[in-house]
């Protein structure tokens, strides 16, 4: 482990110790060196001083030839124990005296030399001239031991060594204590950083303890974390977003294909695989052009050019290559893919499989053509009302039937309603309103009315159609055909006229008959002629029945002409029901009718007409029920409506017959009821009358089980 990898703590201590030891060693060495030199210098000057004194003192001894005195003077050197040897020489260079007395003369220099002191290995030695008043008398030799100096230096060095050691220990302890101030924030920072990198938790912050660089570092670190945190959140959000996006792309029903600028496919979603049948591993890396059939070779170039030119991303309908053939019809959109700097990095292709749509379109087109041909053949005019936009479209024939020029625009109020015959207008508009907004007849439309051209020409037409509703029951479209029935209508009118005349002509003799039958019945009652009473009663009933039938015919005729007169008044519906049921019971011997419910409620309606409805429904029930079967009628309150029903246990009506049941002169073609007489106008009348009361006749029936006819009328006010 090199110094570089050592923990900060130890680094700081190491540096401190290294620095202080270096400083101490340098100081100690300098001190020792200084000591050495100053010692040498002082030693030399000491010796010089001593030399001068001794030389001066010994001058007389030499001058007056007194070696004894010379030795005595030299002996004074005892005081300085470091001077180990001394000698006096005469001017001739002859040894005159020495110190110490027992000094071996061999250890003294044999010859004298110039003044001055020199350092030898372990001592300092030198000569000093001896003069008295300029008279040269001889030389003094001195030798000082330097071991003291060496000892001193060794002592100094040892002391220094101990001092350094002590200071280093102190420095070690001090740095150990003080390094915390530097290392602790760093270590905390490091700990925080490590915690973050290990746990990935960016919400942790380091504690700033100082205002120095480390404090700044900590603050910057925290700020960095803040930024990182928010960046991270952004990245996280962006990641989630891109995951979502990827999921959307992957789960998209459209093929989404990404390619780079070179046209190489780089992404290929599941739908691409589904639509084009190439697995992703086969498609990715290929040039995108391989998807284009040879007939469309320049497709992408054109699309890219369009993209450059318009910037638009208009879908192009084309064909792409499918693995294994059967190339699908595709709606293709090309979009540029840009990076965050807005630089184009590739393209994305969105391919929608429109094969089915295309096929439908073809079928529709064929159908339309067929229809067009059919309508043309039948001279049918067609209309198409978009209920939401109130846009009305008529074909040429339809316009012809309304006397409108081909090029004219049409609309509901200003064209359709305006061109209706005024006697028919209210009725037709009411029926259409009910159709659209009350869902009468389940939206099925079948009506006859007159149109009046601007020139005044009147035409009878039959219109049939169907309203289409959305899932909430709101009308969307109203489509249908119009057929010219003027000729047929003329026939019908003549027939109706005939019926009216016949009915009227039949009614007069019948009225006469009825009055005579009643006179005869009174007489027979007086005469108590049982047979006559019985016979006349029956005759009377049959006469009434016949009167009712004729009345129906007359009503019918009036209806057809639109001359029916509805006089509305308030009455209690249940009372009417009970009266009618009582009357019906009188007429029939084979069936008994029972009133199951009779909830009270006032309605605003034509009492006679509703009565006629009830009679028709009851007689119908009696007609089509085997003798002895129960018939139940009732009046039930449901919310703000009264439901009137007539239930039988008869043969029932097949679903096929139910569709036509309320049409004029319709009779169910059934072996079982062949014997039953009737004109087939009863239910037609019921249906028509109820239409004038904003209501309709409804039916629930099951073959062999029976039928229930019912209708609703709105309650005017609550019965009290």
Partner 1 sequence: MQANEQPTISALKRKVSREYLLSIFLHSKSFLLLLLIFFFSEPVCIGQSKIAKVYQLEAAFLYNFTRFVNWTSANPSGETQFVIGIVGRDPFEGYIDEIVKGERVDGRSIVIRRYDDVSNIGNCSILFIGFSEAEKIRQALKKVKKRGTLTVADSPNFVKRGGAVEFFIEENKVRLKINVDAAKAEGLEISSKLLNLAKIY
Q: Which residues lie near partner 1 (CB under 8 A)?
A: 56-57, 59-61, 63-66, 69, 90-92, 132-136
Contact 613, 551 (CB under 8 A): no
SS3 191: helix
- Give the separation between CA 468 and CA 449, rounded to whole angstroms: 22
Q: Is the link from the previous residue into 100 a cis peptide, with omega within 30 of 0?
A: yes
CA dist 85 to 97, 110, 268, Å? 11, 14, 111
Shortest reach from residue 114's CB to partner 1, in Å: 11
CB of 85 to partner 1, least distance (A): 23
Instruction: Report the nearest approach of partner 1 to the CB of residue 93 (Å).
Output: 9
Q: Which CB, 55 or 87, lies closer to partner 1?
A: 55
State the nearest-atom distance from the C-beta of 150 to partner 1, in Å: 36
The residue (of 96 and 300) whose beta carbon lies closer to partner 1 is 96
Tell which residue, 87, 80, 85, has the closest CA to residue 61: 87
CB of 86 to partner 1, least distance (A): 18
- Tell me the β-bridge partners of 88: 97, 140
Residues 111 and 93: their CA atoms lie apart, in Å, by 7
Place of tokens 């390094």: 179
Residue 124 beta carbon to partner 1: minimum distance, rounded to whole angstroms: 25
Question: Which is closer to partner 1, CB of 30 or CB of 49?
Answer: 49
| Closer Cβ to partner 1, 91 or 541, answer by number | 91
d(CA 3, CA 672): 116
Give residue for tokens 């119908």. Answer: 620
User: Least distance from C-beta 136 to partner 1, angstroms?
Assistant: 5
Cβ proximity to partner 1, 55 vs 171, nearer residue: 55
Q: Which is nearer to partner 1, 19 or 49 (CB)?
A: 49
3-state SS assignment for residue 128:
strand
| Smaller CB separation from partner 1, 128 or 580 | 128
CA dihedral of 108, 111, 112, 113, whole degrees rounded to 10: -110
Instruction: From 49, 53, 83, 86, select the one nearest 71 (Cα to Cα).
Output: 86
* Shortest spacing between CB 165 and partner 1, in angstroms: 55
Distance CA 215, CA 208 (A): 5
Q: Which of 66/658 has CB closer to partner 1? A: 66
User: 598 phi and psi, to 5 degrees?
Assistant: -145, 65
**DSSP β-bridge partners for residue 7:** none
Question: CA 646, CA 631: separation in Å to the nearest integer?
Answer: 7
Rounded CA separation 551/511 (Å) = 12
Quick one: tokens of 554? 């007359």
Alpha helices in 265-410 (DSSP H): 270-276, 280-283, 299-310, 355-378, 396-401
Q: Which is nearer to partner 1, 99 or 449 (CB)?
A: 99
The least CB distance from residue 81 to partner 1, in Å, is 25
Cβ proximity to partner 1: between 68 and 675 the closer is: 68
Quote the least distance from Cβ 147 to partner 1, whole Å: 33
Joined tokens for residue 76: 């004074």
| Helix segments in 337-481, DSSP class H | 355-378, 396-401, 422-437
């Amino acid at each position: 482990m090199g110094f570089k990898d050592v923990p900060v703590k130890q680094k700081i201590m190491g540096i401190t110790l290294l620095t202080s030891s270096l400083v101490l060693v340098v100081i100690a060495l300098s001190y020792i060196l200084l000591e050495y030199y100053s010692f040498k210098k002082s030693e030399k000057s000491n010796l010089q001083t001593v030399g001068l004194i001794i030389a001066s003192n010994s001058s007389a001894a030499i001058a007056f030839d007194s070696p004894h005195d010379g030795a005595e003077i030299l002996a004074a050197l005892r005081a300085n124990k470091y001077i180990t040897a001394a000698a006096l020489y005469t001017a001739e260079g002859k040894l005159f005296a020495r110190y110490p007395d027992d000094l071996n003369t061999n250890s003294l220099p044999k010859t004298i030399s110039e003044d001055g002191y020199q350092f030898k290995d372990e001592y300092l030695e030198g000569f000093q001239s001896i003069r008295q008043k300029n008279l040269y008398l001889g030389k003094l030799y001195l030798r000082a031991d330097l071991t003291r100096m060496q000892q001193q230096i060794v002592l100094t060095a040892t002391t220094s060594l101990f001092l350094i050691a002590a200071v280093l220990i102190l420095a070690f302890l001090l740095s150990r204590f003080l390094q915390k101030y530097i290392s602790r924030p760093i270590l905390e920072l490091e700990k925080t950083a490590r915690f973050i990198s290990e746990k990935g938790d960016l919400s942790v912050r380091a504690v700033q303890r100082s205002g120095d660089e480390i404090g700044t570092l900590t603050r910057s670190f925290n700020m960095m974390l803040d930024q990182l945190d928010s960046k991270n959140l952004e990245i996280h959000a962006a990641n989630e977003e891109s995951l979502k996006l990827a999921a959307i792309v992957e789960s998209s029903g459209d093929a989404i294909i990404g390619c780079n600028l070179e046209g190489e496919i780089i992404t290929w979603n599941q739908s691409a695989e589904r639509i084009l049948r190439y697995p992703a591993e086969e498609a990715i890396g290929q040039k995108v052009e391989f998807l284009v059939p040879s007939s469309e070779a320049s497709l992408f170039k054109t699309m890219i050019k369009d993209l450059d030119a318009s910037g638009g991303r208009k879908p192009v309908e084309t064909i792409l290559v499918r693995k294994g053939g059967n190339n699908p019809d595709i709606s293709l959109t090309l979009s540029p893919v840009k990076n965050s700097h807005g630089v184009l990095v590739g393209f994305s292709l969105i391919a929608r499989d429109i094969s089915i749509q295309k096929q439908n379109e073809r079928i529709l087109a064929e159908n339309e053509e067929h229809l067009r041909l059919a309508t043309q053949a039948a001279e049918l005019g067609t209309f198409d009302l978009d209920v939401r936009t109130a846009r009305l479209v008529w074909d040429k024939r339809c316009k012809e039937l309304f006397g409108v020029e081909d090029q004219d625009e049409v609309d509901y109020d200003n064209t359709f309603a305006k061109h209706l015959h005024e006697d028919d207008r209210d009725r037709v508009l009411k029926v259409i309103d009910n159709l659209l907004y009350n869902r009468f007849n389940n939206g099925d439309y079948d009506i006859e009315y007159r149109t009046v051209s601007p020139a005044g020409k009147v035409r009878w037409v039959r219109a049939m159609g169907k309203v289409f509703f959305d899932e909430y029951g709101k009308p969307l479209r109203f489509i249908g055909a119009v057929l010219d029935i003027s000729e047929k209508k003329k026939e019908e009118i003549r027939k109706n006229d005939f019926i009216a005349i016949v009915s009227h002509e039949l009614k007069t003799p019948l009225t006469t008959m009825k009055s005579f039958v009643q006179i005869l019945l009174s007489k027979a009652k007086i005469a108590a002629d049982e047979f006559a009473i019985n016979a006349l009663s029956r005759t009377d009933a049959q006469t009434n029945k016949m009167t009712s039938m004729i009345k129906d015919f007359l009503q019918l005729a009036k209806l057809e002409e639109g001359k029916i007169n509805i006089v509305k008044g308030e009455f209690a519906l249940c009372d009417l029901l009970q009266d009618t049921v009582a009357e019906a019971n009188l007429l029939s011997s084979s069936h008994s009718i029972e009133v199951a419910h009779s909830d009270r409620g006032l309605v605003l309606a034509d009492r006679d007409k509703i009565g006629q409805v009830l009679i028709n429904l009851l007689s119908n029930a009696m007609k089509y029920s085997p003798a002895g079967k129960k018939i139940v009628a009732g009046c039930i309150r449901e919310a703000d409506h009264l439901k009137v029903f007539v239930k039988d246990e008869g043969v029932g009506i097949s679903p096929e017959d139910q569709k036509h049941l309320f049409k004029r002169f319709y009779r169910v073609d059934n072996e079982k009821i062949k014997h039953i007489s009737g004109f087939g106008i009863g239910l037609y009348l019921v249906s028509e009358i109820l239409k004038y009361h904003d209501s309709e006749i409804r039916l629930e029936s099951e073959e062999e089980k029976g039928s229930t006819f019912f209708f609703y009328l709105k309650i005017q006010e609550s019965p009290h």
